């Protein structure tokens, strides 16, 4: 189902809450969550299909890559408003205006710090100078587009009088949405609600704009604060899939949507989100960012609908309402099913992908089918999760320049553990042998022998995609180099192959960044 998206002006229902997704901007800004252009497009398409009202596609002045991504998203998105972020400077705003220009519904989102601590130490400006900048930046943005959002950065630590003056001035200069972010995750629900009530009561032209919440999760209250802001009169929520974002992250979109849906008796609001797409969106974002979703994460964690204890299982068998406040189906969790085997044909496979929410081109479908057959040769039973891992993995690795060709590992008690690895580096095959303290260490040492680098392994995590000893292993790896973090994921029935894929995926991202900064270098492989 495609949910209909609405622009602020089209929203007549006073309880309709707009969902502004910033996974591709605030989410992508957190260390290690960098996405490629192709990945951003996949995420943006899914957000649009899911019914997100506004997609914040990036920060166009930050880099050429960001600009290109915002522009490409603006050109293709059919329903949602596409926003580009800009600081208060004219160059920022012009770049954002240029990037969103081709969107059906373009928005410029410009922001400026208003709290005493930010004005003094970050901006080194007096409040009156800041007020002038608010007016100038919003006016400039309005020259580009009719839909302008203004944010008072660190709004929750801003003096009320000054906040009201800035909001009034921004609306007068043409801002159609006013965002009061809890930039540092400091506020609490009753305080945030009161803040919106205060601003909406005191600012004379407040009725000319939609108010927005934007909460960070430093104290674990981002979702509760967002909903409290709505109770205080805001009608737009800024959030991210899986709650990814700076530091402890942003408010999680899926939690907000399901809190409103499940407790509509006390939160009588509506969003345009098709909640059945939440699980799919969570998986896609986790795959492309390589950020694992914690098992007990609300709504989309793998244990969110699992009932382990005997008492709970007994209650569930008698009546699911005993322990279930929402159904797995309502968020798109399908009961694990035995789906296909090695005799399944193309059409059945195509149907299954459609049912799982994938719209692949003919070439992508053919490629996925070949890999499905390979998997079916190695694994007796294939579940929905196996097919999702197979397709998601391809999305995550489509731009990789280094790939595993073959791997042979010696493991067990006799030692030394060793790995013989062949990699494809831009079409050239290189083979090495390496040993290590255990098979995983040997595999990683083999990669380092082919592609020497200084990155430090910060995280290595394995989990099984389904049950059974022949389950695919999904490995997450995090590398750290020069203050930057790069994450990678790999899936395969062989844990060591998925480990190699995950390490290479992170290394591919590291090298891509290195090459953006030093375009004259290629992949430097050892001879």
In the complex, the residues that contact Zn ion under the rule CB under 5 A are 26
Residue by residue, DSSP assigns 330-365 as: GGTPPPP-EEE-TT--HHHHHHHHHHTT----HHHH
| Shortest distance in whole angstroms from residue 122 CB to ligand KIV | 12
| Shortest distance in whole angstroms from residue 484 CB to ligand KIV | 20
Classify residue 36 as left (phi > 0), alpha (psi -120 to 50) or beta.
beta
Q: Please give the backbone phi and psi of residue 188, each rounded to the nearest 5 degrees, phi first.
A: -135, 160
| Shortest distance in whole angstroms from residue 251 CB to ligand KIV | 11
Quote the tokens at residue 53: 């009202």
| Chain position carrying tokens 């995280």 | 459
Question: How far is Cα 237 from Cα 248, in angstroms, rounded to an integer?
Answer: 18
Binding flags for ligand KIV, 168-187, as an x/- string (CB under 6 A): -----------x-x-x----
161 burial type by CB count under 10 A (0-12 exposed, 13-18 middle, 19+ buried): exposed
Question: How far is Cα 418 from Cα 352, in angstroms, rounded to an integer?
Answer: 40
| Residue closest to Zn ion (Cβ) | 26
Using alpha carbons, select from 229, 228, 249 the residue that is nearest to residue 239.
249
* Number of neighbouring beta carbons within 10 Å of residue 498: 25
| Shortest distance in whole angstroms from residue 19 CB to ligand KIV | 15
Q: Which of residues 170 and 465 has its CB atom nearest to ligand KIV in the complex?
A: 170
Select from ligand KIV, Zn ion, none the partner in contact with residue 445, using the beta carbon and a kind-dependent cut-off of 5 to 8 Å.
none
Select from ligand KIV, Zn ion, none the partner in contact with residue 156, using the beta carbon and a kind-dependent cut-off of 5 to 8 Å.
none
Footprint (CB under 6 A) of ligand KIV, residues 371-410: none
Q: Which of residues 26 and 386 has its CB atom nearest to Zn ion in the complex?
A: 26
Decide: 257 and 272 in contact? Cβ < 8 Å: no
Alpha-carbon distance values, 244 to 19, 211, 215, 469, 519 (Å): 16, 23, 12, 31, 30
CA atoms in the 13 A half-sphere facing the CB of 154: 16
Binding flags for ligand KIV, 311-350, as an x/- string (CB under 6 A): ----------------------------------------
Using alpha carbons, select from 68, 104, 66, 102 the residue that is nearest to residue 85.
66
Residue from 11, 24, 26, 206 binding ligand KIV (CB under 6 A)? 26
Q: Which of residues 178 and 258 has its CB atom nearest to ligand KIV in the complex?
A: 178
| Shortest distance in whole angstroms from residue 107 CB to ligand KIV | 13
Interaction between residue 151 and ligand KIV (CB under 6 A): yes
| Shortest distance in whole angstroms from residue 155 CB to ligand KIV | 7
Q: Which of residues 95 and 216 has its CB atom nearest to ligand KIV in the complex?
A: 216
Q: Which of residues 26 and 255 has its CB atom nearest to Zn ion in the complex?
A: 26
Residue from 40, 46, 57, 111 binding ligand KIV (CB under 6 A)? 111
Size of the site for ligand KIV (CB under 6 A): 9
How is the beta sheet containing 417-425 ordered, strand by strand? 402-410, 417-425, 428-436
Q: Which of residues 156 and 445 has its CB atom nearest to ligand KIV in the complex?
A: 156
Select from ligand KIV, Zn ion, none the partner in contact with residue 151, using the beta carbon and a kind-dependent cut-off of 5 to 8 Å.
ligand KIV
Residue from 95, 105, 118, 214 binding ligand KIV (CB under 6 A)? 214
| Shortest distance in whole angstroms from residue 184 CB to ligand KIV | 8
Interaction between residue 153 and ligand KIV (CB under 6 A): yes
Interaction between residue 417 and ligand KIV (CB under 6 A): no
| Shortest distance in whole angstroms from residue 25 CB to ligand KIV | 8
Q: Please give the backbone phi and psi of residue 33, each rounded to the nearest 5 degrees, phi first.
A: -95, 15
Decide: 162 and 127 in contact? Cβ < 8 Å: yes
| Shortest distance in whole angstroms from residue 9 CB to ligand KIV | 22
Backbone CA torsion sign across 173, 174, 180, 183: negative
Alpha-carbon distance values, 144 to 99, 148, 485 (Å): 11, 9, 36
Q: Which of residues 51 and 181 has its CB atom nearest to ligand KIV in the complex?
A: 181
**What 3-state class would DSSP assign to 511?**
helix
* Binding residues vs ligand KIV (CB under 6 A): 26, 111, 151, 153, 179, 181, 183, 214, 216
């Amino acid at each position: 189902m495609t949910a209909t998206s609405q622009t602020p002006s089209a929203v007549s229902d006073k309880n309709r809450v707009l969902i502004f997704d910033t996974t591709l901007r605030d989410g992508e800004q957190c260390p290690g969550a960098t996405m490629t252009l192709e990945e951003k497009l996949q995420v943006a398409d899914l957000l649009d299909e899911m019914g997100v009202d506004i997609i914040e596609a990036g920060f166009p002045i930050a880099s050429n890559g960001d600009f290109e991504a915002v522009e490409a998203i603006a050109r293709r998105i059919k329903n949602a408003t596409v926003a580009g972020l800009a600081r208060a400077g004219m160059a920022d705003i012009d770049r954002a205006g240029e990037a969103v220009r081709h969107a059906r519904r373009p928005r410029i989102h410009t922001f400026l710090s208003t709290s005493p601590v930010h004005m003094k130490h970050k901006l080194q400006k007096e409040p009156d100078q800041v007020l002038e900048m608010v007016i100038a930046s919003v006016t400039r943005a309005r020259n580009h587009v009719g839909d302008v959002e203004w944010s008072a950065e660190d709004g929750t630590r801003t003096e009320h009088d000054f906040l009201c003056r800035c909001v009034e001035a921004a609306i007068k200069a043409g801002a159609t949405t006013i965002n009061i972010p809890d930039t540092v995750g400091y506020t609490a629900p009753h305080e945030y609600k009161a803040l919106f009530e205060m601003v909406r009561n005191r600012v004379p032209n407040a009725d000319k704009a939609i108010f927005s919440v934007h909460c960070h999760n430093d104290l674990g209250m981002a979702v509760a604060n967002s909903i409290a802001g709505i109770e205080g009169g805001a009608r737009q929520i800024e959030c991210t899939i899986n709650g990814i974002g700076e530091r402890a992250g942003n408010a999680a979109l899926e939690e907000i949507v399901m809190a409103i849906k499940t407790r509509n008796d006390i939160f009588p609001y509506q969003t345009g989100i098709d909640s059945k797409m939440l699980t799919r969106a969570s998986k896609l974002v986790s795959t492309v960012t390589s950020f694992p979703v914690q098992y007990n994460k609300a709504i989309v964690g793998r244990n969110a609908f699992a009932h382990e204890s005997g008492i709970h299982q007994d209650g569930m068998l008698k009546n699911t309402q005993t322990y279930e406040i929402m159904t797995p189906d309502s968020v798109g969790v399908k009961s694990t099913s035995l789906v296909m085997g090695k005799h399944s044909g193309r059409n059945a496979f195509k149907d299954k992908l459609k049912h799982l929410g994938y719209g692949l081109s003919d070439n992508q479908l053919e490629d996925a089918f070949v890999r499905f057959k390979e998997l079916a040769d190695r694994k007796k039973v294939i579940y929905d999760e196996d097919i999702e891992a197979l397709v998601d993995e391809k999305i995550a690795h489509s731009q990789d320049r280094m790939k595993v060709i073959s791997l042979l590992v010696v493991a067990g008690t006799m030692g030394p553990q060793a790995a013989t690895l062949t990699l494809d580096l831009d079409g050239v095959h290189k083979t090495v042998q390496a040993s290590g303290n255990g098979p995983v260490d040997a595999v990683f040492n083999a990669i380092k022998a082919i592609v020497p680098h200084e990155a430090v392994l910060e995280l290595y995590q394995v989990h099984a995609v389904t049950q059974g000893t022949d389950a695919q292993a999904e490995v997450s790896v995090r590398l750290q180099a020069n203050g930057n973090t790069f994450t990678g994921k790999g899936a395969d029935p062989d844990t060591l192959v998925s480990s190699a894929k995950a390490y290479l995926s992170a290394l591919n991202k590291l090298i891509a960044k290195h090459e953006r900064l030093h375009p004259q270098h290629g992949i430097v492989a050892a001879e």
